[in-house]
Amino acid sequence: MTALRTLLFYLGYLGLVLWFSVTALLLLSLAPYRWRYGYLMWWNRAVLGWLRLSCGIRYRVSGREQLPEGACVLLAKHQSPWETFYLQLLKTPSVPVLKRELLRIPGFGWTIRQIHPIAIDRGNPRQALRQIRQQGLDRLGRGCSVYLFPEGTRIPYGQRGNYARSGAQLAIDAGVPVVAVAHNAGKYWPARRFLKYPGTIDVALSPPLATAGRDSRSLIAEVEEWIESRIESWERPSQTEPSSADHR
């Protein structure tokens, strides 16, 4: 049954990719940015809604009421494709930091260009850092939040990667707060695996972390400790569901 539900998800997902790619290219190329962004957010909602219906994967969020009003840098755990859809809905408008090769994917890549992501050359780390800083400061200066994954690549559920400092440094340079995002999406939608398992993804947001007078090393260490300790707490037998959680 799990395999059949997963196959059903991918069939529907393919249809959504085709629909939103074609319509975005035909209808939105000359539209104002806010129209393009708003339309593509329906794509994210459609994917998460279809995932819930086809595979039984829901999510609950705690700490959303703590999100700052203005632009911020979201630093998130990276376990699954799931968070790439959710994070843009969490704080709008926001743009991802992603490898530039993704923009060359027919349909998907052409569509994601519409929201002006920060595309970096991961094969050239020095150049990638400059791109994150230059483009990140530009997006934040326009009131658009930035989200990125300090571990750089998807890390299997239950494991921890190395947390890079580039996102923390960007927030310090821009003078905006950081919000740490913990989740366990890899438990239900494992990266690089076909099957998806029904259940409820836990998501937790930290209070805004001030960046004035901070250095990137101590800031990213605080982010890492907050994220990893929260994920570990969900796996303890004494776990209780947060009363303030937003269920979806």
Question: Taking 90 as the threshold, does the pLDDT of residue 184 lie above it?
Answer: yes
Give me the CATH code for the 57-247 domain, please: 3.40.1130.10
Per-residue confidence (pLDDT) for residue 28, from 0 to 100? 65
What's the rounded mean pLDDT across residues 163-174? 95
Question: Taking 60 as the threshold, does the pLDDT of residue 119 lie above it?
Answer: yes
Please write the tens of the pLDDT for every residue from 17-61.
888 878 877 776 677 878 878 888 888 999 999 999 999 999 999
- Is 32 in contact with 173 (CB distance < 8 Å)? no
Band of the pLDDT at 239, cuts 50, 70, 90?
very low
Per-residue confidence (pLDDT) for residue 40, from 0 to 100? 84
CA distances from 210 to 42, 130, 235 (A): 32, 23, 29
Question: Taking 70 as the threshold, does the pLDDT of residue 108 lie above it?
Answer: no
Domain ranges of the chain: 57-247
62: left (phi over 0), alpha (psi -120 to 50) or beta: beta
Collapsing DSSP to helix, strand or coil, 148 comes out as strand
Cα 22 from Cα 24, distance rounded (Å): 6
pTM of the full structure: 0.88
Of 46, 14, 43, 6, nearest in space to 28 by CA: 43
Question: Taking 50 as the threshold, does the pLDDT of residue 240 lie above it?
Answer: no
Q: Which residues does 12 contact at the CB level (< 8 Å), separation at least 6?
A: 50, 54
What percent of the chain has pLDDT above 90?
62
Please write the tens of the pLDDT for every residue from 214-230.
999 999 999 999 999 99
Taking the CA of residue 170 as centre, how many other CA atoms within 13 Å lie in the half-sphere pointing to its CB? 33
